[in-house]
Structure 1
């Protein structure tokens, strides 16, 4: 269901794709077309969150023919995929490091939608680039501030405040500069299902952004979660992500590696925390599609930099340039 919706989305942003699926739905024949872009809208399947579709679009958007401007409707925050808040806070600054920036790079949340019914709506806009610049991103730096959003829809607005207090009680031991916004949406913009959740980001002096998030159980599934517990657990998840460290958090490892691969024929380096299973599988795909191998060096943390083991990833870009971009 959600996979079919994703294929339809890819079909919308491309021009001339051929897609055939056999009757049992076990094999997919896909012949890609040109990445076209433009202004679009798409209704995502509510069984997965918009983040699932957005991850695919983030990889493709810089290489379109026309700048992409797309409205996605569905579930904005769930427990499976990275939420729209996290991608807005972490993936967009990552794209900027590769030279994909400008005022028309944005993710805007118009409505929130919680599972199972969804009803959220976001706008994603991204400019096109001819080439990506290589990056040297090896020093994450020390954490200077923590920002976050506690959101609640179709429940008491007090829920958000309770999450903020419990998260602050843990994070205040770590550093004083913490600001967590409360976002309580009413009426049409609150979607169709009740729920609440939290997204936290830690920013370092060198502009590394690490994130963590949690959402409440969908209505009618699982036990009810106390907002205090959710706030505390989200803070602990953020601390765990900080312990893992690296210059890119575990949600965006694969996006960073893809953009490094597609960079100019120059050396790119990035320091990551322990590789997630998804990233390891993604590296295999990069090897089979681009014949590119990363040099992987493990770094044990030094005395003053505590935390988990780090991995230094180095590669030479394939020199990909965007052929479909119109030259004015």
Structure 2
């Protein structure tokens, strides 16, 4: 007897729910997608992601209602392969690449993916942030040799960028993570400031402004400049920066931003640098952009307890929804306990140190069946 699809409502966490369904092999039904909006149903980028998901898998069945407000997804096997995908300019390529990173290690073969569109928009994760901040998290679980190359940079509104991603490492199951220790100290700050079809001086202005904010850390700071020229500069003018604070133990915190209409390069540099300091102040081992990937990979691990230290600032509504969705898919729960070393002042309030929690996960013993067969 075929199990009934797990039911969800609304467009929130659309990509993550599709990814969890694919990894767990459970069919899902998502209805009432923007049913009360003037333009109800799926957006162009959501349909595009469904097409990419269809290309990465084999045997998946996707049913979309006439109005686009209901989607039924029955996952197939992850096969990967060589794929080229044109992304709509309404979202950056990071919108499509970020969830695919969770699927690619559990496929039948390596994934060689080319994405075309907007490379950074200040909303979705930019390509520089994915390379510098997400790849190190995957390495903690034994997923290695991930490569991302920016062939062309593309800014809003017309895009024209191109990114080549090679994800060759296919494994049976991720390693168990044990990282419930003290918050690591930031040892250095790295970053990439880029520009497309604007004066190269804009990049230098971004770097100088960011350095001015980050000098209070006393850390070694090096921000690369990437001035796209000619065919490599896409179709629209733009600039932005991605910053990463690295620790000696290989963990990192990240922040990024792209220039909006009327915003000066100096404003972008200062805004992103301050956002990076806020990320570091959260504490824990990972920042807000990495914690979802961390939790899903821990759940997919061996039937052993994994632990990691997280800052209280990463526990928001989206994080809680993810834990609920994981319980629906696998029936496993995540335990969150306040870190024993948290400082408390005389009034019983939290001290200067950020509130931190130990997140404990028992892996579900996920096994990559396609690799075992291949």
Same fold per TM (> 0.5)? yes
Q: Which runs of 5+ in 2 are unaligned?
A: 1-43, 345-350
Whole-angstrom CA distance in 2 between matches of 1:325 and 1:119: 35
Whole-angstrom CA distance in 1 between matches of 2:297 and 2:207: 35
CA offsets 1:34-60 (integer angstroms, 9 cap, x no match): 111111111111101111111110110
One of 306, 309, 316 as aligned partner of 1:276: 316
Whole-angstrom CA distance in 2 between matches of 1:93 and 1:178: 19
How do 1:7-86 residues align onto structure 2 when only pairs under 5 Å count?
Answer: 7-86=50-129
One of 214, 221, 224 as aligned partner of 1:171: 214
Residue 311 of structure 1 pairs with residue 357 of structure 2: yes
Shift of 1:161: 0.2
Shift of 1:311: 2.1
Are the aligned partners of 1:37 and 1:66 in contact in 2 as well (CA < 8 Å)? yes
CA offsets 1:96-127 (integer angstroms, 9 cap, x no match): 1001113xx11111111111111111112212
Residue equivalent to 1:323: 369
The range that moved more, 6-15 or 32-41, is: 32-41
Residue 240 of structure 1 pairs with residue 278 of structure 2: yes
CA offsets 1:125-166 (integer angstroms, 9 cap, x no match): 212111211001123311100001111111100000001111
Q: Which runs of 5+ in 1 are unaligned?
A: 218-222
Are the aligned partners of 1:294 and 1:315 in contact in 2 as well (CA < 8 Å)? yes
Secondary structure of the residue aligned to 1:319 is: coil
How do 1:1-328 residues align onto structure 2 when only pairs under 5 Å count?
Answer: 1-102=44-145, 105-126=146-167, 127-139=169-181, 140-217=183-260, 223-273=261-311, 274=313, 275-299=315-339, 301-302=342-343, 306-325=352-371
Whole-angstrom CA distance in 1 between matches of 2:124 and 2:100: 14
Over aligned residues, Cα RMSD in angstroms?
Answer: 1.5
CA offsets 1:175-226 (integer angstroms, 9 cap, x no match): 1410011110101111111110011000112111100011111xxxxx4101
Q: Structure 1 residues 243 and 307, CA, compared in 2 at 3 Å: closer, same or farther?
A: farther
Where relative contact order (Cα < 8 A, 6+ residues apart) is larger, the structure is 1
Shift of 1:16: 1.1
Whole-angstrom CA distance in 2 between matches of 1:13 and 1:307: 44
Shift of 1:276: 3.4
Are the aligned partners of 2:187 and 2:219 in contact in 1 as well (CA < 8 Å)? no
Residue equivalent to 1:220: none
Are the aligned partners of 1:242 and 1:307 in contact in 2 as well (CA < 8 Å)? no
Whole-angstrom CA distance in 2 between matches of 1:188 and 1:245: 41
Q: Which has the larger radius of gyration?
A: 2
Runs of 4+ in 1 over 2 A off after TM superposition: 298-303, 305-308
CA offsets 1:240-295 (integer angstroms, 9 cap, x no match): 00001211110011110000000001111111122133222111111111111111
TM-score, length of structure 1 as denominator length = 0.94
Whole-angstrom CA distance in 1 between matches of 2:318 and 2:154: 26
Whole-angstrom CA distance in 1 between matches of 2:94 and 2:290: 12
In the alignment of these two chains, the number of paired residues is 320
